[in-house]
Amino acid sequence: MNLKNKKALIIGVASGRSIAAAVAKSFSDNGADIALTYQNDKLKSRVEDIAKNLPNAGLIYPCDLSNDEEIKNLKTYIVNKWSNIDIIVHSAAFAPRELLSGDYVDNITREGFKVAHDISSYSFSAVAKEFKDVINEKGSMLTLSYLGAERVIKNYNVMGLAKASLEANVRYMAFSMGNNDIRVNAISAGPIKTLAAAGISGFNEILNIVNQRSALKRNITAEEVANTAAFLASDNASGITGQTIYVDAGFNQSGF
């Protein structure tokens, strides 16, 4: 995939093992200039270390997606540095840890529901709304989802609802942003051991089930997701928008 001369903003890098970090590497390897964001000072040094290993990752900036002012500040920073942009990757999701185990109805709270949907779904729209006028024609926006959006996954709970909202968000955003020739897609990735996944109770059990029942009889890697992201962000995918693409070794098609 040729991403040469493309400018890509990757939002939500949490660690070197995150899917977002793998996406940044794939984009950089394919010639894109990279800007990375981090949520808070605790994560800053991790993101700086990732950037050091990417030849085209010269821009790093903080952005807490729960704060509209920080999204505005991020846009100002990007415009000052680049004037415009081609690709935005949204790799952010959050729900209170106590909601990600046990019985869904017993554990759900109004505040936890609001937080999960705000960070995991609404923030993608918020970024699009703020950046819409500086994304170049034939631009691309990507986000990351999971099978829990459409099937009940043990302990995924409220995050499943938030991801279902995110996937609907992708469809509506695709029609809205399509007026400017900007494509919007999601990748539904199979389970990968990341910092975010560590918050889901019984995650190793999920990995084992996918390993046994997926069509390819294995789990996927962050690099496989990143390569799909690079394709979707490239001109090779110019006719694809409003889609959720599964990168899960075929697990989403398996029966009981």
**CATH number for position 161:** 3.40.50.720
Residue 91 lies in a domain: yes
Predicted pLDDT at 141? 98
Predicted pLDDT at 214? 95
Residue pair 13/84 in contact by the 8 Å Cβ criterion: no
Predicted pLDDT at 152? 94
Task: Note the pLDDT tens digit of each residue in 201-227.
Answer: 677 888 999 999 999 999 999 999 999
What domain count does the chain have? 1
If we measure between CA atoms, which residue out of 55, 49, 153 comes closest to residue 104?
Answer: 153
Burial (0-12, 13-18, 19+ Cβ within 10 Å), 173: buried
Predicted pLDDT at 16? 86
Q: Which domain holds residue 234?
A: 7-247
The catalytic residue positions are 146, 156
Residue 53 lies in a domain: yes
Residue 61 lies in a domain: yes
Task: Note the pLDDT tens digit of each residue in 177-198.
Answer: 999 999 999 999 999 877 666 6
Residue 256 lies in a domain: no
Predicted pLDDT at 219? 95
Q: 3-state DSSP call for residue 150?
A: coil
Residue 255 lies in a domain: no
Print pLDDT tens along the chain (256 aa). Answer: 789 999 999 998 888 889 999 999 999 999 999 999 998 888 898 999 999 989 888 899 999 999 999 999 999 999 999 999 999 999 999 999 999 999 999 999 999 999 999 999 999 999 999 999 999 999 999 999 999 999 999 899 999 999 999 999 999 999 999 999 999 999 999 998 776 666 666 778 889 999 999 999 999 999 999 999 999 999 999 999 999 999 999 999 986 6
Residue 253 lies in a domain: no
The gap from C-alpha 51 to its chain's centroid, in whole angstroms, comes to: 18
Predicted pLDDT at 178? 98
Residue 131 lies in a domain: yes
Residue 227 lies in a domain: yes
Predicted pLDDT at 198? 61
